Amino acid sequence: MAKNPGIKNLTQLGKNISTPASPEEAVLERVPNPQADTNYLARFTIPEFTSLCPVTGQPDFAHLVIDYAPGKWLVESKSLKLYMQSFRNHGAFHEDCTVAIGKRLVKLLSPKWFRIGGYWYPRGGIPIDVFWQYGKIPTGLWVPDQGVPTYRGRG
């Protein structure tokens, strides 16, 4: 670990950390990108994302897909996992959760390009999909489909 100068500043990796009480309290961390001179896509898939309806307090479930073309920084994955878990007791609408996650990651990482797809399971019989993007896709970057089919119910 000591060979990577960005690792020594991490506060969560390799430690027993409790789930943050809220997204605002969650600490997102980054590490230097050793391939910063190369255009490539990194993907995080969160198939069991949970937050709360801000009106009823009932749980909402989503499948999130985060794609980004890293610049100088990579998100440290344990801190991302804890950040995502912090939404379990957080009340917000689908659109707010999805876009807030995207904006916070863009602010932390300053990526070349970023997108998030929030594929929310039905609430009141209506599934809600939310998409947010930052920047333009770098020339020559392979950007695969997010691979999440539209909601079909029993049809």
Mean pLDDT by 10 residues, the chain (155 residues): 62 84 95 97 98 94 98 97 96 97 98 98 90 97 93 71
User: What pLDDT, on a 0 to 100 scale, did the predictor assign at position 16?
Assistant: 87
Contact 25, 83 (CB under 8 A): no
User: What pLDDT, on a 0 to 100 scale, did the predictor assign at position 2?
Assistant: 43
- pTM higher than 0.75 for the full model? yes
User: What pLDDT, on a 0 to 100 scale, did the predictor assign at position 1?
Assistant: 40
What residues pair up with 65 in beta bridges, in sequence order? 45, 117
User: Is residue 145 among the annotated active site residues?
Assistant: no
3-state secondary structure the chain: CCCCCCHHHCCCCCCCCCCCCCCCCCCCCEEECCCCCCCCCEEEEEEEEEEECCCCCCEEEEEEEEEEECCCEEECHHHHHHHHHHHHHCECCHHHHHHHHHHHHHHHHCCCEEEEEEEEEEECCEEEEEEEEECCCCCCCCCCCCCCCCCCCCC
Out of 60, 67, 96, 129, the active site residue is 60
> What domains, with CATH codes, occur in the chain?
37-134 (3.30.1130.10)
Contact 106, 84 (CB under 8 A): no
Assign residue 124 a region (left: φ > 0; alpha: ψ between -120 and 50; beta: otherwise). Answer: left
Residue bearing tokens 């969160």: 46
User: Is residue 96 among the annotated active site residues?
Assistant: no
Work out the number of other CB atoms within 10 angstroms of the CB of residue 126.
Answer: 8
Out of 53, 67, 97, 145, the active site residue is 53
User: What pLDDT, on a 0 to 100 scale, did the predictor assign at position 69?
Assistant: 98
Work out the number of other CB atoms within 10 angstroms of the CB of residue 136.
Answer: 10
